[in-house]
Chains A and B, each alone.
Chain A
Amino acid sequence: MAEETTSKEYWRWTESNWHDPDMDWKDGEIISAGIDVGSVSSQAVILVDGKLYAYSNMRTGSNSPKSAENAMDWALEGTGMALDDVHYVVGTGYGRVNVSFAKRAITEIACHARGANFMYGPTIKTVLDMGGQDCKAIRVDEKGKVVAFLMNDKCAAGTGRGMEVFADLLGVHITKVGEMSLQVEEEPPMVSSTCVVFAKSEASGLMREGWPKERVLAAYCLAMAHRVVDLLERLGIEEDFAITGGIAKNIGVVSRIERELGLKALKPTLDTQIAGALGGALFARALLQKERKSK
């Protein structure tokens, strides 16, 4: 990666894996998994009888079949579970068709909706997924089924990828960007171009004019928030509202979205990046039950 050749990897967010040590998966009747191979990050989620058992969250390589395996292996790590123990796998995200061991591919839109429904409960009506390279506003029903959606993938502005490039450019670690952007007395005018490519020169320009990093970050987060709010408004928002994906971890963007919308997003209970894989695992479970019924 271009970034990796640079000395400090400001863009690099923390990869993680987790499993529930108190749960014995061997008692499980249905073990289902979802693999979300996004353009920037990949996740695997394993459910045992519909309960969250394990997950992993890592960066996607340029070889998506491999990314899928890596994510799965890492989720299985230390669980004693093997891929063969998983009854049904659903692939989702950009590389969904390249998950060799998945029985079925379902779009990240349906999966994020369903994952959010699991994470936030049936009251959730509007989900904003700010993913690596696109951004989706989704309306869901109480069962977690998509009612309507709007997608912006023509532009990386307002996406994780954009934020990575920006963190790198300013030499601020991506996990710090949010808080730092809030350390301004008053909101600056937003950067006119949220385009990843031109934000660079615009930001450099602002810094040459003597803007402190905090202010530049504030301007960028504001512009990002503004873009996605447009998307949400066009779709029409209904509470409860929640944000999934990597940017949901960026308080600078989230708080600005909330301010523009005039409503609060529900506080996440789980890693917001796994929503897609989680939804996939829930679909996998449902699909297996359907199969068994029909037999």
Chain B
Amino acid sequence: MIETFQERYENRHEYAKQWKEKTGGKVLGYFCTYVPEEICYAAGVLPVRILGSHEPQDVTEPHIFAMYCPFCRDCLAQGLQGRYDYLDGIMIAQSCLHIRQAFTSWDLHVPTDWSYFLPMPHNVQSPRAVPYLVEELKVFKKALEVWTGNTITDDDLKRGIELVNRDRQLMKQVYELRKREEPPLSGLESMYMVVSSQLSDKEDHARLVEEALKELEDRTLGRPIGQRLIILGSEDDDHEFINMVESCGSTFVIDDHCTGTRYFWDEVSLNGGDPLTAIATRYVNRVPCPTKDWPLRTRLPHILGLAKDWDATGAVILQQKFCDPHELDIPAIKSALEEQGLTTLFLELDVTVPIGQFKTRVEAFLEILDEDDLF
């Protein structure tokens, strides 16, 4: 049943279209995981994350200068090629400049009824961030109400919070299982689980994860686990790459990605308070994207913690080509991990990755990690 998540990932468009037909609701395409999905669900809108398709394309050059990350170009290409023509609206929450260009060019050239820019604060370590975001969420809520014609009550918000939290809790249970000596699922499978959550109705996804948990309870991969690896860096749903690494005799047991833990790690803790404040607090305090991780690099201790708790021996540090926010953290992260005794491998992702060349690096990296008895 684990394959269901891969199917969902592969048939994301069909799924969203069916959801529309079934519910008659609006589908909102979003560009960054800082978008507060709780409020969308409260408004009865289905938020789906816009992702690339990892194919060479020739439609974005007139719109995005080639020095911006391949991910934002791949995303825009989907829109320009009409693959998301079923969307009722698009939105982005302020994060990096790169993906913002995909959003603004989409806004200019792909006909969409509704588009929204949420100025998510960058200074998340400042006490001023939450109060500011609360006000912005009020504005956002109002905009959603005008767009959908539904008023959003506090109960709706609470429902939205519970819905998304539920899925987060379940995903965390799945990740707990990956701590086992014999993780019941591969890094690729868990990537499909997380990303399919970004592409599905949460209620429906949560149901699938619940079932999956039953199956995972006594499942094994039926292959040697090999080296236990942590994978971290910018957006990465490149299944071909992840699969290649795992087929070279290793298993990803944990990650720090916005297509992984960073998406679902932190819950909204409502405990009787004002829903919007609770939501704002969650997004300000969540595991940050490097672009918001300053003046302190809070991701460092977090990543080291994950590597330790999931018992990783090596780290694959990935980054979308030209992703400055990550590039600015990598020297620090690399040395921190190495101090903790992990071997690291750094690779740059493009729209498509040169599997052949990467394979040599990956194998050499794994050779460093094992077979001391050959020397």
Determine direct contact between A and B, CB below 8 Å: yes
With a CB–CB cut-off of 8 A, which chain A residues contact B368?
110, 145-148
Chain A contact residues, majority secondary structure: mixed
Known: A146-B367, A147-B368. A107 touches B360 (CB 8 A): yes
Answer whether residue A180 sits at the interface, using C-beta atoms and an 8 A cutoff.
Answer: no
Query: Which of B360, B361, B364, B372 is most buried by chain A, counting CB atoms within 10 A of its CB?
Result: B364
Q: Whole-angstrom distance between the alpha carbons of A106 and B375 in the complex?
A: 14
Q: Are B367 and A108 within 8 A (Cβ)?
A: no
Asked if residues B364 and A146 are in contact (CB atoms below 8 Å), the reply is: yes
Judge whether B374 is part of the interface by a CB distance below 8 angstroms.
yes
* Residue in A109, A286, A290 with the greatest tally of chain B CB atoms within 10 Å: A109
Chain A residues near B367: list those with CB within 8 A: 106-107, 109-110, 146
- A147 vs B372: C-alpha distance when bound (angstroms): 12
Beta-carbon nearest neighbor of B357 in chain A: A153
Q: In the bound complex, do residue B373 and residue A290 qualify as a contact, i.e. CB atoms below 8 Å apart?
A: yes
Check if B361 sits within 8 Å of A287, measured CB to CB. Answer: no
Minimum distance in angstroms from A293 CB to a CB of chain B: 9
Residue of B nearest to A136 (CB): B364
Contact with B along A204-243 (1 / 0, CB 8 A): 0000000000000000000000000000000000000000
Is the C-beta of B363 less than 8 angstroms from some C-beta in chain A?
A: yes
Q: A145, B363: Cβ atoms under 8 Å?
A: no
Docked Cα-Cα span, A108 to B374, in Å, equals 16
Instruction: Check: A144 CB closer than 8 A to any chain B CB.
Output: yes
Given A107-B367, A145-B368, A146-B367, is A286 in contact with B375 using a C-beta cutoff of 8 Å? yes
Return A28 CB to nearest CB of chain B, in Å: 20
The docked-state distance in angstroms from the alpha carbon of A149 to that of B361 is 9
> Does A145 lie within 8 Å of B372, measured CB to CB?
yes
Query: Residues on A close to B: CB < 8 A?
Result: 106-110, 134, 143-149, 151, 153-154, 283, 286-287, 290
**B: number of interface residues (CB 8 Å):** 12
Q: What mask results when residues 344 to 371 of chain B are scored 1 for a CB within 8 Å of chain A, else 0?
A: 0000000000000100110110011000
For the complex, what is the distance from the CA of A37 to the CA of B114, rounded to whole Å? 57
Q: Contact partner of A110 among B357, B364, B372, B373, CB < 8 A?
A: B364
Chain B residues with Cβ below 8 Å from A287 are: 374
Can you show 24 pairs from A to B with CB atoms below 8 A apart? Answer: A106-B363, A107-B360, A107-B363, A107-B364, A107-B367, A109-B360, A110-B364, A110-B367, A110-B368, A134-B357, A143-B375, A145-B368, A145-B372, A145-B375, A146-B367, A146-B368, A147-B368, A148-B343, A148-B368, A153-B357, A153-B360, A154-B357, A286-B374, A290-B374
Expressed in whole angstroms, the Cα–Cα distance for A151 and B346 within the complex equals 11
What distance in Å separates the Cβ of A115 from its nearest Cβ neighbour in chain B?
13
In contact, B374 and A151 (Cβ under 8 angstroms)? no
Across the interface, do B375 and A144 meet the contact criterion of CB distance under 8 Å? yes
Is there an interface contact between A151 and B361, defined as CB atoms closer than 8 Å? yes
Q: Chain B residues with Cβ under 8 A from A145's Cβ? A: 368, 372, 375
Q: Residues 330-349 of chain B: 1 if any A CB is under 8 Å from the residue's CB, otherwise 0?
A: 00000000000001000000
A-chain residues with CB within 8 Å of residue B361 when the two chains form the complex: 151
Query: Contact mask B52-77 → A, CB, 8 Å, 1/0?
Result: 00000000000000000000000000
* A110 contacts across to B, CB distance below 8 A: 364, 367-368
- State the Cβ distance, A161 to closest chain B Cβ, in Å: 14
Whether A108 pairs with B360 at a CB distance below 8 angstroms is: yes
Known: A106-B367, A145-B368. Contact between A283 and B360, CB under 8 A? no
Complex contacts, A149 vs chain B, CB 8 Å: 364
**Residue of chain B at shortest CB distance from A110:** B367
Complex Cα distance A17/B308, Å?
51
Flag if A283 contacts B364 (CB, 8 Å).
Answer: no
**Distance between Cα atoms of A143 and B357 in the complex (Å):** 26
Central interface residue in B360, B372, B374, by most chain A CB within 10 Å: B374
- Measured in the bound complex, the distance between the Cα atoms of B372 and A143 in whole Å is 10
Q: Give A35 to B345 CA distance when docked, in angstroms.
A: 26
A-side contacts of B375, CB under 8 Å = 143-145, 286
A61 to chain B, nearest CB (A): 18
Q: From B348, which residue of chain A is reached at the shortest CB distance? A: A154
